[in-house]
Each structure stands twice: as C-alpha cells, then as structure tokens.
Amino acid sequence: MKPLPNRSPHRPPEAGASAAPVRQARAAADARRAWLRAGAGLGLQAGLRPLLAPALAAGPLALLARPARADAAALQAAILAWTGGTPPTPGRVRLDIAPLVDNGNAVPMTVQVDSPMTEADHVQAIAVFNEANPQREVIVATLAREAGVAVLATRIRLATSQQLVAVARMGDGRHWSGRADVIVTLAACLEG
C-alpha cells in the first residue's frame, strides 16, 4: 500500500491531486472495523455465552439474588455470645450505611436506636457485627442514660461485600437489632 500524502484524509484533495489514496485508506479502515466487529461479536458469543446463560435464564430476579452466606453461622454465634444466648428482636435499630461503597478502608456508618433514654427505657450498649471481616465485632459502645439520644456515628473497615448487624442492649435486658447489606468494590483489612 502506498503512503498517503501528508494531509488529513478528511479534507478534499487539492486541485490536480488524485483522490484515490484517500478512498483506499477509507476502504481499508472500513474493512478493518468490519473485521473487528465480527471478531468481537464471535468472541462474546463463544466465550461468554456459557457464563451468561444462567443469569439470562433467571431474568431480572437474578439481580435480586444474594450469594450464599458461608459466614452466617459465625456471625450469629458472635451475636449470641454478646447477647448472652438470646437472639435479638428485629426492630428499633436503624443502621445507616451506603449500600455501595467504593473503598472499604473508611466507611461512614451511623446506628440509631429508637429509645426515649429514660430510666424505664434506655440503651445501655450498641454493638455492630459483620460476617466477613477477620474480627466479627466491629465496635461496642456503652451509652449513659444521660446522653439523651442513642446514636453512634463512626467509620469502619470492611473486608468485602457483606451484611452488618447492629444490636442494642436495653436497660431491661432486651436486645433489638437492625441489618444492612453493603457491596464493597475495593476491599480492606485483608490478612495474608
């Protein structure tokens, strides 16, 4: 193939110059694009079809499915150890954390417990547990009745996408809980 003249192929040729090299270059570029498109399509169909077939068969419900929780038993054991063997009742605890986190190194989190913080109904402690970090207990905070509100705000580290559980110990010995799922794109606290 002959080299093109030193000018843009998008400008019309100068008077007296032949337009043939420009047409040849465009035809070659079009042929290359068509070849690449055909190859990319074949690669997608041949290489990814076995991987995508189950997800495509499940349809939109596949997006709602969560992976199996291998560490759910260890998470439940840590919670029961903190509560003295009684499972906490769901409710009264709100765990505010972003559902999608870019970086697991410093994730802002707030735990709020619905309590008037009176003598009869107050929060003694709040604990946050996770299912995938090396240590199941993220934080345990003791609250005084005089605080007036039962709110805990901090930053935590998350090893990977996982479920968090916040448990509140009340003054009468009852335990309440709240849960949140978090997807982490860049993991933190990895051991190895």
User: Residue 69 and residue 79: Cα distance in Å, rounded?
Assistant: 16
Q: How confident is the model at residue 44 (pLDDT cuts 50, 70, 90)?
A: very low
pTM of the model: 0.63
Percentage, residues of the chain above pLDDT 70: 68
| CATH architecture assigned to 72-186 | Sandwich (2.60)
CA dihedral 77, 79, 81, 87 (to 10 degrees): -90
Candidates 173, 170, 160, 182; CA nearest to 93 is 170
Q: Where are the domains of the chain?
A: 20-63, 72-186
Q: Is 88 exposed, middle or buried (0-12, 13-18, 19+ CB in 10 A)?
A: buried
Q: State the pLDDT at residue 191.
A: 57
